[in-house]
Amino acid sequence: MPGTGEYDYLVTGGAGFIGSHLCELLLARGAGVLVLDDLSTGTLSNLDGCSGNSRFRFVVGSVLDEALTRGLVNQSRKVVHLAAAVGVENIIRQPVETIETNVKGTENVLMAARPGMTPVFIASTSEVYGKSESVPFREDGDIVLGATSRSRWSYACSKAVDEFLALAYWKDKGLPVVIGRLFNTVGPRQSGRYGMVLPRFIEQALAGRPLTVFGDGRQTRCFSLVYEIVDAIASLVDNPEAVGKVINIGSTQEISIRELAEKVRRISGSGSEITLIPYDEAYPDDFEDMRRRVPDVSLLSSLIGKVPEADIDTIIREILGR
């Protein structure tokens, strides 16, 4: 049974890029929304569209604060746990903070939710598939991670532990949990300062600087518009058939990073050149990358009857405001 708190949803990491869009959606649907965010990567300006709403409350703090987290969960009927370390560059340079935030923070949320059986949505990531070559990635496919000496995989491993922990709470304690593996979510308000490729390209194009493509540019990704992603999250949170499941959430439209740079340059009207930068110049020595990252979204479709469909040209124009 859902909790009986005064707020319909607690959104951890709600001042972040995805979290702020989710808060706007939930408020637009008439829900009461409580946000917990330590503002380490999120910003208050992301929540400008929420402030002033009588059904919205923001609390500055961390999911690492067990007592604070417990108190806010007790005030909420459902929890959407988005708080996590963000961005490849940030993760490589701060591996200890990455592991502590992701694992301990998720543990605190689940422990707080257990007494009242408060439903929890855990945001995971396509990174957990690691170096798997079984494309498209299925939720029941094997995970293939790199060596522990490569800190790049600490994020993937920590999120995999989050999934194991959440599913253990479901199987052993009966806590209703839903796990969503997000694939390259992009859109307005996303920052490029933590290594996110599309906002970085757009910032570079608008400034007339070279668009820096790391590696050979032939690695591919599937980009999803944030509005479609938060709609899917909201639908899954309220779907009892999703409980106890791991679900890919993303687009299946694959594009190379070099082609992405070319599209940004064309659509923005920029005269910037495209520059290839070897990985060993862009990242520390222990960096590894995935060549392809494509989800199988058949489970998502069966649960909510839709999947993210916005094409990359539409996404780029939305970010540019055109």
What is the C-alpha to C-alpha distance for residues 139 and 45, in angstroms, rounded to an integer?
35
What are the residue ranges spanned by the domains of the chain?
Answer: 7-185+223-252+295-309
DSSP codes, 175-234: --EEEEEE--EE-TT--STTS-HHHHHHHHHHHT--EEEETTS--EEE-EEHHHHHHHHH
In this prediction, residue 152 has a pLDDT band, given cuts at 50, 70 and 90, of: confident
Q: Tell me: the pLDDT tens digits for 287-304?
A: 778 899 999 999 999 999
Amino acid 193: pLDDT:
74
Q: How confident is the model at residue 148 (pLDDT cuts 50, 70, 90)?
A: confident
Does the active-site annotation cover 155?
Answer: yes
Which range is least confidently modeled, 27-36, 148-157, 158-167? 148-157
Burial of 142 (0-12, 13-18, 19+ CB in 10 A): exposed
Q: What is the mean pLDDT of residues 232-253?
A: 97
**Residue 197 predicted with pLDDT over 90:** yes
Identify the pLDDT of residue 81: 98
pLDDT digits (tens, 9 = 90+) for 264-294: 999 999 999 999 999 778 776 667 788 999 9
Q: Which of 7, 9, 155, 227 is catalytic?
A: 155
pLDDT band at 1; cut points 50, 70, 90: very low
CATH class of 7-185+223-252+295-309: alpha beta
Q: What is the mean pLDDT of residues 154-180?
A: 96
| Interacting residues of 321 by C-beta distance below 8 A, sequence separation 6+ | 188
